[in-house]
Structure 1
Amino acid sequence: MKQLSVKANQAIILTGVLFGLIVMLSAAFLINDYLGLKRIQESLIEERVGVMQLAAQRFFENPNSFQSDELQQILLSQAGEGCSTLFDNSQNIIVKASADGYTPNSSDIQQLVDINYQGEKMGQLRYIFTPIDDQQWLNRAIAIVLGMILLAGMVSPLLVKLLDNLTLKPIRHLSDRAEQIALDSTFNYRFDTSRQDEFGRLASSVNTMLEAIEGREAQLKNYGSYLEELVQEKSTQLQVQASEDSMTLCPNRISLMNSGTKLIEGALFDGQITGLIVIDLLRIKTYNQSYGHHLGDMLIRESANRLKANFDQVYRIGGDEFAIVIQHPRLSAIGELAQKVISTIGEPIPYKDEQISLLVAAGLSLAPDHGSDIAGLLRAANNAMQVSKTLVGSNLTEYDPETMDNLSRNFELEHDLRDAIANEQLFLVYQPKQQLKTRVIDSVEALARWHHPRLGPISPLEFVAIAEDTGQARTLGNSVLRQAVKQLEAWRQDGIELSIAVNISPAQIMHPDFVHDIEAALKLAPIDPGLLELEITESIMIGNHHHIAESVAEVRDLGVRVAIDDFGTGYSSLSYVRKFTLDTLKLDKSFISDLEHSSESTGIVDAILMLAHTLKLTVVAEGVETPGQMLILSTLGCDYIQGNLLSEPVSADQIERIATRVNTDALLTQK
């Protein structure tokens, strides 16, 4: 009954009650009918016997005046459907009267009455009659009961329908509309409260609840908008700070990397040549050591001011390094402008009673000859600048692939990287992530490392850049994926409960077979897909959100978790995060580094955490270096931390020992 609807239960109960009532009423009626018939028959027989007895007495009293024919007529009239017989004392039949069609039956009942006259027995009257036919009465009773049941079957649906309209229909309307309100979030809807019964009071109560929900929804929406505006404002401020050098007010390397490629593409579209000059102010360290850092800082600021006065696109990309983007339709003009950089910096700078002349090592690369994007041009110009450093005085060297030793190195690394990926010579190290609430390490980030057989350890920045430039990024990423899955299986067999996060490159996620690559990796071992998390950078999501959203949804359908990595280095708005079905948000270390010294940074992190948790995202803070940062993040409600405070990236064996030690301490602390 509990599994049936209220309407079905109501129909069953109503039908059962109705049928039970009919059975009881029918039984009472039929019993009363049967007993009534019995009483009527007994009364009738008693009356008939009395009439026949009087007639027989008259016959014996005056046989001459009361003839037997007359007596027979009286007996016949009173016999009914039976038979009446008058005997003398010798049992001789005097008169016999039978109803037409009367046939003796074994069920017949006879009644004998003595006929007396003046105290003397004159004869005997026998009356035989057929009692009420029980079978006939039973058939009649069955017919009546069946008729009543049929009537109940016809009336029951009508009563059920009537009760449904009176009781269940308002409830169904309330339930259906409530479900629709939940789906559409139309909390401004109000139910009709004109009824004065319990349904009217229920509708009024629901309306009160909807008013409260609508008010809370409006407050939450307004507060969410305020927080997002605050995050956007503060993120914009941080972006400006992150993209601008505070000492020279020049755009920094990040700004160059973000805008350089667009400058190149725009120049190509306009038919212009783009030149990138990388300069190194020589002997700045010597001046710092001899006169103090204030002199070195002054020389750098003065050099920046001179460059900005003569060129539009000047970037400070390192301590004593600058990059200048120059664009012109003529190649010769590019060369002339590049030489102007040397002369501009070379002019003496007054300092107290001295004149300081700086030496400059500069390298020039050209687009599209030396690269089609800013990363390629920067590498080429830097290689050319390194050649200038080997020369005497201030020099400008144009990038020449045939004379660059570093180019040979790149070729060697490119070739060897292909073999290293194919033979799985790259290995993984792991950096732990600690859950702040329980202090347990239950996940790690996998990072690729390469130890070249001749050149030794190769920086990930270098070999990842080579992989991206040479179209090996997808192959490299899939190799890391496979190794991560195999490590998860090894930990599973050893009873170690750790999940692994793997970085996904743009080349991987933009490839048509991205989801297939993930499926292929998962088939290598019977692991729980939920133990694998893919980290996708914020910048990838912004530029290709439609394609990325589809790929992310398909990957999550496999059970794999997805994280947005380096949140805060790109657009830094949670508005676009809503377009993706994500699990984790990794807060960039640029938000964390100043937590202990800046209330603004703390406020921004707090707002991001609140909005991220509203979107049901787990938040991981990257780059945590100090206990103070950890304490602040824990107070703000951050879920996980990652950084050198816990451990630098280490081998699988080391991470097992670290996790065991930390988790044991956490368990003992909880007890």
Structure 2
Amino acid sequence: MDAGGPKRPHVGPRVHAREYNYVLCISDEELAVLEKYREQLITGTGSFAEIFYNYLFDNPDIADVLYAFEREGGDVGQFARAELSNILTSVVAGIDRQREQHLLDAGRRHMQHNFRPVWLIGAYNLLIDYLHGMLPGLEINTNDRPVLDRLLTRLLLREMGIMLEGYWLQVHSEEGRELEHIAGRLGQVEELLAGLPHLVWSVDVNANKVMYANYPLQMLYQEGMSSPLPCLGDTHTDDRQLLQDCWQQAVSGKRACVDVRMRLAGDSEHWYRVSLYPEARSSRKPGRVHCMLEDVQSEVSEREQLQTLSTTDRLTGLPNRATWADHLAMALAASRRAPGSQMVVMSVDINQFKMYNDTLGRDAGDILLTDVAARLRSIVRESDSLARMGGDRFGILMHPVINARDAAERITTEIMDKFDIPFAYQEKQLCVSLTLGIACFPGDGNSGDGLLANAESAMQRAKRNSLPYQYFDPVNDVSSAQQLHYSGQIRSALDNNEFELLYQPQVTLETSRITGAEALLRWEHPVEGTVMPQRIIPVAEQLGMIAPITDWVLVTALRQCRQWSFSGTAIPVSVNVSARSFQNPRLLEKIKWALREASMDGDQLVIEITEATLMQDIDRARDLLSSLSDVGVTIAIDDFGTGYSSLSYLKRLPINTLKIDQSFVLDVAFDQQDIAIVRSIIDLGHNLGYKVVAEGVENRMTLDVLGKLGCDMAQGFHISEPLPDEHISSLLERPGSLI
């Protein structure tokens, strides 16, 4: 391998003046002849100055150098006079060490100031011509004339030669200094390469041989490097072809780089980056390829860690939302390729998480999330995808399944059973329950976003109703897309008077006369027509518009109630209060304001609240209902029997009416279980001193059964569909019973 640095050129011994005398055959006898005519020669060369100066300044190249010398601060006149003196002195002066050094220094100066050697030769040539032309006019002995003629030429050659040697010495001195500088820089580069953590080598492509290797590489392969890729044998077998392909690309003249696995000097396997830089040449094939090998294990590890962080939830180790969405997209694609394939999408929420996180601290919350994730992981199949969607929300994808409903029921039951077991935390037992929303493919959506949105919508409905899980219901659930669709329009619906109230009469089963009416909200959309409340209320709650809508419903219903009283028949009006409205701390104030605004007493208003809404905060419910009762407002529990009420609380609430959910009423004429449930609710209500209203009465047989069971009141399409206010006024004015 080459040494890696330039070699300083050899500079031969300097030629002394006596050597010139010997070579040019200058004898002492000839010098004695010169001495006889010294004074004449000095006098005769006086007029050469004009010839010399013209030579300097008439030559444009010489003039440019002189002007550059002047711009750098030099004195051109002094320089010209000194050079003239040197030339003329050479004719008559003797030669000694001092004179010789003077001529050498003059030659060095010429070189330093870019005064070319050919210009010096030209000046001496002028002087030779001048001297030969001058000699015939001098008084010289006939025998001495040919001696002097030859001697003057040889003396000028000697003087010129010594000055040219000064040129030569200056060139080699500068070159030597430059080579020393280059050698020093190369030494620094070599020291730098030796200290690099990278392995560096250079390959002669034609010889297929490593010509240079830095110290770390030499130490690694002390036995020699027979291959242009010394590390090929240490490369993982699966990566060797990649490295060889990279080399072929480099020898074809293209830069190449590849990351491969290697095990060097018995170390553990690491990732290394091999970078190959072909030497730039005019021909296509490079003469050399410079190579570098660097350890990139930390970079690869960081990249893998970033990849993991981008796809995995750090806390639980589960896939994150983005990764889960990818799994869902792939499952959908597979299902579309397999007709009849089904899948289940679940949105899972921890009901008690906020309470535990706020009271026990974030560390406890993190541990709870990790434990919940582990328990869910133990339930789902290996083919299923479980992910943390963010916060206390998880997602479950079941694919493939033969029957989505059956699969959802199975896993839901297993989840409920597993989560009946409390979690242990610092000698505490934490009871945790989940709420699940379920969407099935293909029935509940055709896209991943749609299925997830529908599952989340079902989960929110389950939470509102205090149920453990709910399947997506297009009638009762508003998807995210629908929320977005209505979000810009619902705000202006109030201002544009697009909302209206219909009223469904309630009758007593004993007299069949109207005893009340339930106000039902409708949105007369200018494009879509009538929009039902189950599509209005969830969007309004999400947008923060439920409060002004509730205010409008209260005032409008009470004002209509006042109009009915003017006809001579006063009946109370029922208004549904949503879960979000019930949580409004100003609800009591709003109801009192609506009563004042409509000039109505509280006994003409019935507030309907679902069982699930009451149970969300039983203490607040008791206080609010007591305050409403104090102003005469009647309280009715809507959809009774579908939630999880506690009778111990129920009996202490100031409730007046129970409304049996229509799911128990629809088949009560045929289903013995429904009969038993309805009878139990009626008996419970009467025992607690409540009136009982049956919703969803669709036929005469149902009405008859309810009458026999002792139900107090009923409403439904068999009695009357929801009607505009003026139709209710007509019914109130009609004599006799409604049914």
Calculate the TM-score normalised by the size of structure 1. Answer: 0.43
Looking at both structures, which has the greater relative contact order when contacts are Cα pairs under 8 Å and sequence separation is at least 6? 1
